[in-house]
Structure 1
């Protein structure tokens, strides 16, 4: 039997290995470390017995506790749905104004409406509801068909110029290229542009006002403030759906764009439409 080598400095035996004159001391592991290690081994074995752990061909061991993370998620979702039921029932039974008058119900509807908006509305109105060319900004105070909670609810429910809904908002701006000369279109475009800013040729404004009175005032009003019954926009502010400036206005007069919004009532149901109406009204532009 080979005698163990004892380190001269520490008096501790070495492992018997030597590398370039360097020997490794054979110090025992601390007891606390060993017992901790043994405890982790026991814990690991117990864990694999209690919970799903060992992989099989098509599944895994179920564990004596039969725990399932998917089952836990299902239970949590079921509990969340149960908690929502009272709010959903209240929204179904109340009008939009009544929902807004109830603080907790309003908060629930606003959060739910925001989620519905992100799924169904951002494609046109953008993620911040700021709109894009041809699609209105829902944060400002300009509403073609009215910005009260009930009016917003009606618009979302029945849409705009949506052929499949008999109660949809319906109006169309005629193509004035078939009714007015190019000169008249230039004049009226200059007049309309002058209502909210400077124009290239002020001399066109006066004759343009006469063309407007004869051809446009019936829908937009003599003061050009618009008519919500017809969805005719206010032409005196700086909010333009299809572009501002004389050229854009002239293009709209010649061959107008008449946008279409789907009727969401049949697609989403009354509860989600009410939640959407409350959310849109909460953005700050509602009246």
Structure 2
């Protein structure tokens, strides 16, 4: 039978337990701490009953009070929408070309449009609207379907080459790798490089490439390479390239074509749309005033 360890010169007695020679002090928690702990348990039970708390298969317990953060946020949104309703109605009713002439309306449209752009457009066009490879720069004057306020409004409303809106901007470049001989591809790529003032990769191919271009490309890009906005055919005579202007990039484009897609944003124009007409107009005004709008 083991004996209780003798405690010599200790101010606090031990529990009598010993593990590998290590003894446990008998230090009970202070009463005030224990009472607070019990109070926290009671408060937690009460909170679980009154407020949403325990997760379930389809959602959390609602709580007796029926309190909801989502509902509170929606109330704030509805309150803000009610306050902005008059000026949004004015924005929707105004002629697009007349908005810039109304100082108050234009200021509101630019401010609201900036918020819309940062929420829905910056992911592709960049926070500063400078674009990226495959996503147009909205700060320059190179617009495939036009850069005036009305053209921008139409593009934003219906999108580009999507299957959700019958009025979406649409154009499609053939994959000439399936139509031309490899040598003809090399020839026309070298010719296209010279249209924007670049040095051809192989100058001996340029003359023959001009013939290939005239026979296969000029119907969309025009004989002088300046493009056709009605067809969404880009201008090849400037130094602005959506997918890159190097010999390799142009070769890739000619061989396999490009097919960028932009969703429709107007909920009035398409079930896939996400923005109201006022928001569409606001972001159109915002994009137009960035510097590239015509």
Q: Which whole-Å deviations, capped at 9, do the CAs of 1:179-235 have from their partners, x for residues lacking one?
A: 101110011000101112112211111111110000000000011000011100000
Say if 2:166 is the partner of 1:159.
no
Measure the CA separation in 2 of the matches of 1:177 and 1:245: 18
| Alpha-carbon shift at residue 87 of structure 1 (Å) | 1.2
**1:78 Cα shift?**
7.6
2:124 corresponds in structure 1 to 124
* 1:185 and 1:253 in contact (8 A); partners too: yes
Q: Superposed, which structure 2 residues align to 1:3-18 within 5 Å?
A: none
Give the equivalent residue in structure 1 for 2:202.
201
The question of whether the paired residues in 2 share the 8 Å contact of 1:144 and 1:232 is answered with: yes
Are positions 1:245 and 2:252 aligned together? no
Distance 1:164 1:79 in 2: 32
**Deviation at residue 106 of structure 1 after TM alignment:** 0.6
Trace 1:32-181 onto structure 2 (pairs within 5 A).
57=43, 81-181=81-181
Query: Residue 110 of structure 1: CA displacement?
Result: 0.6
Q: Deviations over 1:22-62 (max 9, x none)?
A: xxxxxxxxxxxxxxxxxxxxxxxxxxxxxxxxxx9468xxx
The partner residue of 1:278 within 266, 274, 285 is 285
CA-CA distance at 1:248 after TM superposition: 0.8
The runs of 5 or more residues in structure 1 that have no matched partner are 1-55, 60-69
Q: What are the superposed Cα offsets for residues 98-150 of structure 1, whole Å, 9 maximum, x if unpaired?
A: 22221110110011010000010111101000000000000000000100000
Aligned to 1:211: 212
Contact 1:96 1:277 in 2 (8 A): no
**CA–CA distance in structure 2, aligned partners of residues 227 and 124 of structure 1:** 24
Q: Runs (4+) of structure 1 moved beyond 3 Å? A: 56-59, 73-83
Aligned length: 221
Q: State how far apart, in whole Å, the 2-side matches of 1:218 and 1:242 are.
A: 21
Q: Deviations over 1:260-280 (max 9, x none)?
A: 000101221211111110000
Decide whether the 8 Å contact of 1:136 with 1:241 is kept in 2: yes
Find the counterpart in structure 1 of residue 191 from structure 2: 191
SS in 1 for 2:171: coil
- 2:266 aligned residue: 265
RMSD: 2.2
